[in-house]
């Protein structure tokens, strides 16, 4: 913050800062994107090889696991950030595998509620334990303090993004 004294040192920093600062967000985004892709691909591969499941199916089941009474498809769509039309097919396939079941409540026949079957709960339990261990393994070289800081700072990014969206959608 010292612009004082002789005054030439900071000029360099300012000039450089202006150039770099311009693309800083882009660089961060590209790195976030490639890192997320990398992890996703690895998790996807392991889910497939060890449990015969896909990542979207895992995500969907994770939501149902913590709401044992089940969830409406629309609510499932919001929580998984998957479009409505997509949830339909996802639940359909899981129902065929006997992991999820659909039912229409008496009150409102427009609604479909999806919930895990006993088989689904058991299956997901095993996957969730492995999934958590995989993440610890993949991030093993990162200092826990850094992990905590990243969690906080990415939260700030998320808030900013949420404040500048063009359409709808919130967190």
Partner DNA sequence: TGCAAGTATTTGAAGTATAAAATTTAAATT
Partner DNA sequence: AATTTAAATTTTATACTTCAAATACTTGCA
Torsion of Cα atoms, 7 then 13 then 19 then 24, to 10°: -140
Q: Residue 38 binds what, of DNA, its own copies, none (CB under 5 to 8 Å, by partner type)?
A: its own copies
User: Could you say whether residue 21 binds its own copies (CB under 8 A)?
Assistant: yes
| Segment contacting its own copies by CB under 8 A, of 3-11, 24-32, 87-95, 113-121 | 24-32
Work out the number of other CB atoms within 10 angstroms of the CB of residue 38: 11
Q: Binder to its own copies among 19, 36, 84, 104 (CB under 8 A)?
A: 36
Binding residue count for DNA, defined by CB under 7 A = 31
User: Could you say whether residue 98 binds DNA (CB under 7 A)?
Assistant: no
Q: Binder to its own copies among 31, 52, 84, 104 (CB under 8 A)?
A: 31
The DSSP line for 62-125 is: HHHHT-TT-EEHHHHHHHHT--HHHHHHHHHHHHHTTSEEEE--SS-TT--EEEE-HHHHHHHH
Give the residue carrying structure tokens 């693309």. 23
Instruction: Name the site residues for its own copies (rule: CB under 8 A).
Output: 17, 21-29, 31-42, 45-46, 81, 131-132, 135-144, 146-151, 153-167, 169, 171
């Amino acid at each position: 913050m010292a612009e004082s004294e002789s005054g030439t040192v900071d000029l360099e920093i300012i000039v450089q800062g202006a150039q770099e600062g311009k693309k800083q967000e882009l660089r961060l985004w590209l790195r976030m994107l490639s890192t997320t892709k990398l992890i996703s691909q690895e998790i996807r591969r392991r889910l497939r090889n060890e449990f015969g499941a896909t990542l979207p199916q895992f995500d969907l089941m994770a939501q149902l696991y913590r709401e044992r009474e089940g969830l409406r498809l629309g609510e499932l769509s919001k929580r998984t950030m998957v479009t409505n039309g997509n949830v339909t097919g996802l639940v359909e396939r899981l129902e065929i595998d006997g992991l999820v079941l659909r039912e229409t409540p008496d009150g409102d026949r427009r609604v479909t509620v999806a919930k895990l079957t006993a088989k689904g709960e058991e299956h997901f339990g095993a996957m969730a334990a492995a999934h958590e261990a995989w993440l610890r393994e993949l991030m093993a070289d990162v200092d826990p303090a850094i992990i905590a800081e990243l969690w906080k700072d990415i939260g700030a990014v998320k808030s900013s993004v949420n404040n500048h969206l063009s359409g709808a959608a919130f967190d």
